[in-house]
């Protein structure tokens, strides 16, 4: 009788070990950098413009460092003076890890698709 009980315990440990391995892999995936889940980073437009977002701070296409309205998946800011479109609001919405749509003036304006900039070394 004790032999059967031991055998069940070993089998249960194997299942627990398998579950532990699966949990470890899942935790490892969750612990990976979540760049894909945030609008932070460098974005490039099809016509060569570039912005850099870090939290509520943005470096605009004209090189001005300013603050905007930040959430993990969206960003908006007012175009600074001396830049084309000054005074208008830019709305950016993250679509996926490499794509954001940018609208100028209103949140329903015609979007322009921007991509994460590729850094060439």
Domains of the chain by residue range: 1-32, 35-116
Residue 33 pLDDT:
38
Site of tokens 């950098």: 33
Residue 1 has pLDDT above 50, yes or no: no
pTM (predicted TM-score): 0.68
Residue 76: is its pLDDT beyond 60?
yes
CA distances from 36 to 33, 41, 56 (A): 8, 10, 17
Q: In degrees to the nearest 10, what's the CA dihedral of 73, 99, 116, 33?
A: 50
Give the C-alpha distances (Å, rounded to integers) separating 115 from 27, 74, 76, 81, 102. Answer: 29, 14, 17, 25, 10
Give the model's pLDDT for residue 37: 82
Condensed to tens digits (0 to 9), the pLDDT of residues 20-59 reads 343 333 333 333 334 458 999 999 999 999 999 999 999 9
């Amino acid at each position: 009788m004790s032999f059967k009980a031991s055998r069940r315990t070993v089998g249960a440990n194997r299942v627990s070990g398998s579950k532990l391995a699966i949990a470890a892999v899942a935790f490892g995936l969750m612990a990976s950098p979540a760049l894909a889940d945030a609008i932070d980073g460098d974005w490039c437009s099809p016509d060569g413009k570039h912005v850099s977002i870090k939290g509520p701070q943005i470096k605009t296409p004209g090189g001005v460092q300013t603050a905007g309205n930040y959430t993990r998946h969206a960003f908006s800011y007012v175009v600074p003076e001396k830049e084309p479109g000054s005074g208008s609001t830019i709305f950016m919405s993250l679509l996926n890890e490499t794509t954001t749509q940018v609208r100028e003036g209103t949140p329903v304006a015609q979007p322009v698709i921007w991509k994460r900039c590729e850094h060439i070394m």
